[in-house]
Amino acid sequence: MDLQFEPRLARHKDELEWLFMELYGDRAALNALEAEMADAFAARSAELKALDAAREADPHWYRRGTMQGMTMYTDLFAGDLKKLAKKLPYLQEQGVTYLHLMPLLKMPHPHNDGGYAVEDFDTVDPALGTNDDLAALTKQLRAAGISLCLDFVMNHTADTHPWALRARAGDPVYQNYYCCYPDREIPDQFERTMPQVFPNTAPGNFTWDDAMQRWVLTTFHPYQWDLNYRNPAVFTAMVKSMLHLANLGVEVLRIDAVPYIWKTLGTTCRNLPQVHTIVRMVRMILECVCPAVILKGEVVMAPRELAAYYGTPEKPECHMLYNVSVMVNLWAALAARDVRLLKAQLDQLNALPEHCWFVNYLRCHDDIGWGLDEDEERRLGIDPQRHKEYLYRFYDGEFPGSWARGALYNYDPATGDARSCGTTASLCGVEAALDQKDDAALDLAVRRVLLLHSAAAFCKGFLMLNSGDEIAQLNGWDYQNDPARADDSRNLHRTVFNWRKAAQRRRPGTLQNRIWQGLAELRALRADACFDPDAAVTTWGGDNDAVLALVRRGGGQSLVGLFNFSEQPQTVHLDSPALLGLGAAVTLAPYEAKIV
């Protein structure tokens, strides 16, 4: 053990202990944490320790151009973990190297926020399998060159978690695992500065619990109790569960709702300095015990907040983050036929330090929240509120001339705010074109799908597909007929995978084949040296607001990506085209992605 664990711990010991004592001032709790770390390392298999050593020798393994991600629900894709293991050839056919399975730890049924209300952080939900099934799957994935990502819900537990049940029973030790108050004095003080996440469907940040006779902090839903990270026992217990998942073979931990985990009166309780202390400690703990495991942060915040979650090259935090802002701006550019906001957003993100890395995507399990840069909108002469209303009405198909089919999520008539739901294909017009039996419209819809994927794949980071997007899967409107699902419009795009349609992927000329082949061409493109881990990505100026120009440089080579976000042919005159090896003007077909 000493040959690996002790030297790693020695590298981090001073900083880890200093940060822990600064936050908690509890030497006994620190000793307990270090004992858990040593136990987890001792329990780690020889195969996983070999992976640790390989990853230490290749720290940029997750940044290679050949990385290809996919996210899915186990039950919707295959039924359970054993059945999913039998589907690995399908994933390998697409070159998948990174598989994110939506929450699969033990959860209450039916109300569990899509699995983000966790009842047991150490146990697979019986509906999906067992811990042995998970370990067997990760072993098969490793053999196939695929790293498994699982969500780790840091901010809260289900109110049916054993800790919550003990708190309800009156145990003060476990009441201190949460933020509980006997009256409204402290909760009312928090409410003055703490924004609400779901003001319509889950108003307020506190829930009264009759059994406990306490107000409990519930930032998200009433059945999700916020953990009290001021208690070192909470931090140590959560770290223990992370390491348990790592020892089952999980290679990427998506830390959910991480900006919310520290609460201080008089603040928004988001993005506080103590959050970064905790994430930094988690990073060091993983590097000591299981350095093959990396952190992906779910940070749905303004770009100015993102850099802090990476830490610094000397003291890193998350290895990568979701590229939420580019996802939103891609959809906004498509609806507006205007890339100016997208370009401005990319300029901000490309200016981040070199160690900042992104998971790029178009759709996931969640909605599209129209959190655009309002200052930049105003600078461009765009009214932020009218623009937001246009976008969500365009994508629910209500705006005149819209080709999209989707649904609103969390519409608030008082503020005029709403988010959007739907699959990539339906939001791009495939569903409407098929309904209307319009081949020309279908051709444009396919072009939109491939345009968005091409632009996302050209950005800094790697591309993650949402399961079903590779075969142009449509919205599942039948969710409205299921009482357990009807009140959450995100179920519109949480659909059972259509294996019958997937079988069409090899038939030339089919819708599924066109999308499948287009994505295969993107994967081939990303093998280029311009997608190496240290490649540079920049935007490029031009005179056409419908065309996005991106330049990649790596391995002494360069690639130019030109993306037409309009259904009309466009000609663009780029700044200093000779520097790019291009002529004075470039003409693009409708929704064309031209790589030169």
Query: So which residues are the catalytic ones?
Result: 256, 298
By the 10 Å C-beta count (0-12 exposed, 13-18 middle, 19+ buried), 264 is classed as: middle
CB 571 within 8 A of CB 546: no
CA proximity to 529, closest of 551, 559, 501: 559
Please give the structure tokens belonging to residue 484.
């357990």
User: What's the sign of the alpha-carbon dihedral 295, 96, 537, 469?
Assistant: negative
Tell me the C-alpha distance between 157 and 227, whole Å.
Answer: 7
DSSP one-letter code for 100: E
CB 374 within 8 A of CB 162: no
> How many C-beta atoms lie closer than 10 Å to residue 47's C-beta?
11
Tell me the C-alpha distance between 251 and 542, whole Å.
Answer: 42
DSSP one-letter code for 265: T
Tell me the C-alpha distance between 5 and 402, whole Å.
Answer: 58
> How many C-beta atoms lie closer than 10 Å to residue 232's C-beta?
18
CA proximity to 87, closest of 104, 103, 70: 70
CB 419 within 8 A of CB 369: yes
Tell me the C-alpha distance between 272 and 254, whole Å.
Answer: 19
CB 98 within 8 A of CB 462: yes
**Helix%, strand%, coil% for the chain, nearest 5:** 45, 20, 40
CA proximity to 68, closest of 522, 537, 554, 532: 522
Residue appearing with tokens 């005179």: 543
CA proximity to 409, closest of 256, 200, 222: 200
Tell me the C-alpha distance between 559 and 557, whole Å.
Answer: 7
Cis peptide before 110 (omega within 30 of 0): yes
Give CA angle at 272 (271, 273), nearest 5°: 120
Helix 511-525 crosses helix 439-458 at what angle (to 10 degrees)? 20
